[in-house]
Each structure stands twice: as structure tokens, then as C-alpha cells.
Amino acid sequence: MYAKIQPVQCYPNQATVLLIAGVSVVLGSSASFGWGLCPDDKLSSTLAQGMLTLDGAAYAAWGADDEYLYRYSAEVLGLTIIEIVRDVAPPAPPSDVL
């Protein structure tokens, strides 16, 4: 799964894909995960990356659908999701994420 996003400038390139990787959960409490922004033509190349944490109400709202992680990340990072892509084999996370 990955999310296509409205292009954002990651000098000198544009990112059009949001990836989520490395989810670590403390049951009943919180979850941390890595995010990466990639150009759509090179999912193996990360232009920007970081970590986010779900806790409190955000963690409680997560449920069983990982699409929530993409929507949460987009909101926190100020990104606009165009499409969540589910029906393909997930791309391997870039080696430089996490």
C-alpha cells in the first residue's frame, strides 16, 4: 500500500508518493512509524523522511485499517492524498528510510 499525493517540492525534485514503514506498537498505548516521500517514477529513492507517533485519541482511532496511518501522516505533514493504492504488491521501502 502507498498513497499518491499532490506533488510537493523536495528540492530539487518533486515527491508524489507517501510511503509508511517500520510500525512499532506499544499495545494499548502508542505506535511509532517512519514515513518517506518519493517521486512516483522511483519508489526506491527517498526525497524526505521522518518519524511520527500515534498516541492518545489518534492511537485509539487507528483501528485495523492501515489507511488511517496514511491519512494521519498526510494531515500532520500538510500533504493532500489523491489516491490510496492497495491493489498492487507494496513497493519495497527505500533502503534509506529508517
Q: What is the 3-state secondary structure (H, E, C) of the chain?
A: CEEEEEEEEECCEEEEEEEEEEEEEECCCEEEEEEEEECCCCCCCCCEEEEEEEEHHHHHHHCCCCHHHHHHHHHHHCCCEEEEECCCCCCCCCCCCC
- Per-residue tens of pLDDT for the chain, all 98 residues: 899 999 999 878 889 999 998 889 999 999 999 999 999 766 778 899 999 999 999 999 998 888 999 999 999 999 999 999 986 655 566 666 55
